[in-house]
Amino acid sequence: MMRFLWPFVIFVMLAGFLYVGLGLNPHEVPSPLINKPAPAFTLPQLHESAKQFSSQDMKGKVWLLNMWASWCVSCREEHPVLMALASQNIVPIYGVDYKDKREDGEEWLRHGGDPYVLSVSDTDGRIGIDYGVYGVPETYVIDKQGIIRYKQIGAVTHESLQKTILPLVAELQAK
Amino acid sequence: MKYLLIVLLCLLPTFTYAGEAKDLAEDPVLEKRMVALAQNLRCLVCQNESLASSRSGLAEDLRREVREQMKKGLTDQEIIDYLVSRYGDFVLFDPPVKSYTLLLWYGPFALLLLGLIGLVFQLRKRKNSVPENQLSAEEAQRADALLNPPKDSLKDLET
The reply to whether ipTM tops 0.85 is: no
Return the residue in B87, B92, B103, B111 with the most chain A beta carbons within 10 A, the one to mutate for interface testing.
Answer: B87
Residue B138: predicted pLDDT:
87
Residue B5: predicted pLDDT:
79
Q: What confidence tens digit (pLDDT) does each residue in A109-133 have?
A: 999 899 999 999 999 889 999 999 9
Q: Which residues does chain B have with pLDDT short of 70?
A: 12-25, 152-159
- Whether the per-residue pLDDT at A90 is higher than 90: the answer is yes
Return the residue in B86, B103, B125 with the most chain A beta carbons within 10 A, the one to mutate for interface testing.
Answer: B86
State whether A30 and B58 contact (CB < 8 Å).
no
Residue B69 burial (CB count, 10 A): 18
State whether B58 and A125 contact (CB < 8 Å).
yes
Residue B157: predicted pLDDT:
60
User: For all residues of chain B together, what is the average pLDDT?
Assistant: 84
- Which of B44, B65, B85 faces A134 most closely, judged by CB atoms? B44
Q: CB neighbours of A46 closer than 8 A, spacing ≥ 6?
A: A95, A97, A102, A105, A106, A109, A118, A119, A120, A121
The domain covering B25-96 belongs, at the CATH homologous superfamily level, to Cytochrome C biogenesis protein (1.10.8.640)
**Shortest CA distance from A124: residue in chain B:** B61
For chain B, the structural domain boundaries read 25-96, 97-127
Q: What confidence tens digit (pLDDT) does each residue in B6-21 have?
A: 877 777 666 665 555 5
Domains of chain A by range and CATH? 34-174 (3.40.30.10)
Residue B154: predicted pLDDT:
60
DSSP assignment of A35-63 equals TSBPPP-EEEBSS-TTSEEEGGGGTTS-E
Residue B149: predicted pLDDT:
77
Helix axes B28-38, B76-87, angle to 10 degrees: 50
**Shortest CA distance from A32: residue in chain B:** B88
Question: In Å, how far is A36's CA from the nearest CA of chain B?
Answer: 10
Q: Report how far residue B26's alpha carbon sits from residue B10's, in angstroms, rounded to the nearest whole number.
A: 30
